[in-house]
């Protein structure tokens, strides 16, 4: 794919496979480029140049591998998603370490005092990235990054189809398109594991099931590689290439066409009531199931 679709070529002394291998060692194993000099017998400048070539080639595949979901797709037969039939996946912010100029470090310092970029990541039920937007300073809140991603003036604006939603943590606003847990109630799975207790209220049960269904990690080129490897697990030979060719042949949706989509983050009474009713329905079903087990 990197040869045929991205134009990656051999140099006089370095094959495409070697360029890709060096790139994967850096991004996949966290190796410093200078450590590759001895293994590949290349200068640091040569390794850096080939790394940039491969990075550019992989990023050119971004729109082919990271794209918003096909609304005709159905959720997997997975108990975690049983109570969220209209959910398209989950969103979260991920802090990724970055190197920035000393004068900019204050803005990129997060609440843990690390220098990071706050990346918005959106994944589907199968943990494939649907949308990724790194670049915001580590000091920026998750909700602020999401609002920026949903600006309709952005060429790659993130929008949610009406009637659908993503699961999000308490750092986001509970409103149309985004279903969050109840505040002041146990949420994270490790809290449940530590207590070894069963949920006692509708809000606790809702938060437990919400927590099981959402997750996230990584940054743009790695997101592309991530989606590629997950596709390859289930496809044989050239099926993936055929899928990409079909996608390229399809007419893309214009960036400004947002009819039928949620394009802003807001609080509504209807959405609060929806979450409350969903939690109550879960708890009623949960009580009936436990009563039947006891009998």
Tens digits of residue pLDDT in 216-252? 633 678 888 888 877 755 454 455 545 555 654 564 5
Q: What are phi and psi of 272, to 5 degrees?
A: -60, -45
Give the residue with greater pLDDT, 203 vs 38. 203
pLDDT at 179: 93
Spell out a b/e string for 179-212, using b for 16 or more CB atoms within 10 Å of the CB, else e: bbbbeebbbeeeebeeeeeebeebbbbbbbbbbe
The rounded distance, in Å, linking the Cα atoms of 260 and 241 is 31
| 126 — pLDDT class (breaks 50, 70, 90) | confident
Q: Coil, helix or strand for 133?
A: strand
The tens digit of pLDDT for each residue in 61-90 reads 888 888 888 887 777 777 778 888 889 999
Max mean pLDDT range (34-38, 145-149, 253-257): 145-149
Would strands 165-167 and 129-137 be described as parallel, antiparallel, or unpaired?
Answer: unpaired
Q: Per-residue pLDDT averaged across 19-37, rounded?
A: 85
Distances (CA, A) of 88 to 140, 162, 289: 25, 12, 27
One DSSP character per residue, 151-190 reads: -TTSTT---EETT-EEE--TTS--BTTEE-PPTTS--SHH
Residue 203: pLDDT band (50, 70, 90) is confident
Q: 97 pairs with which residues across the strands?
A: 116
- Please choose, from the candidates 61, 87, 62, 92, the residue with its C-alpha nearest in 3D space to the C-alpha of residue 73: 87
Q: Do residues 93 and 121 make contact, with C-beta atoms less than 8 angstroms apart?
A: yes
CA distances from 265 to 69, 137, 230 (A): 19, 20, 31
Q: And the tokens for 54?
A: 């491969």
Which residues have CB under 8 Å from 221's CB, separation 6+? Answer: 27, 55, 58, 59
Q: Which residue has the tokens 């040869």?
A: 3
What size, in residues, is the chain?
Answer: 295
Whole-number pLDDT of residue 239:
55
């Amino acid at each position: 794919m990197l040869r045929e679709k991205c134009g990656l070529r051999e140099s006089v002394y370095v094959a495409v496979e070697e360029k890709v291998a060096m790139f994967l060692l850096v991004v996949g194993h966290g190796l410093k480029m200078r450590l590759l000099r001895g293994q590949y017998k290349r200068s640091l400048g040569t390794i850096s140049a080939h790394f940039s070539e491969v990075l550019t080639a992989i990023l050119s595949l971004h729109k082919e591998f990271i794209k918003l979901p096909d609304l005709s797709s159905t959720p997997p037969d997975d108990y975690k998603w049983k109570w969220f039939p209209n959910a398209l996946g989950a969103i979260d912010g991920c802090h990724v370490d970055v190197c920035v100029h000393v004068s900019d470090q204050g803005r990129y310092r997060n609440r843990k005092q690390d220098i990071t970029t706050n990346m918005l990541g959106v994944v589907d039920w199968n943990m494939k990235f649907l949308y990724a937007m790194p670049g915001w300073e580590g000091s920026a809140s998750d909700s602020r990054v999401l609002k920026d991603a949903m600006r309709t003036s952005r060429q790659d604006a993130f929008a949610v189809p009406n009637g659908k939603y993503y699961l999000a943590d308490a750092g986001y606003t509970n409103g149309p398109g985004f279903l969050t847990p109840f505040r002041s109630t146990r949420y994270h799975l490790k809290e449940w594991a530590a207590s070894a207790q069963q949920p006692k209220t509708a809000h606790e049960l809702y938060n437990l099931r919400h927590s099981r269904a959402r997750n996230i990690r990584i940054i743009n080129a790695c997101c592309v590689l991530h989606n590629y490897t997950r596709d390859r697990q289930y496809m044989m030979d050239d099926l993936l290439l055929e899928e990409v060719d079909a996608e390229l042949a399809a007419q893309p949706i214009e960036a400004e066409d947002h009819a039928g989509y949620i394009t802003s983050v807001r609080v509504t009474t209807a959405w609060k009531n929806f979450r409350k009713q969903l939690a109550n329905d879960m708890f009623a079903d949960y009580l009936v199931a436990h009563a039947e087990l006891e009998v």
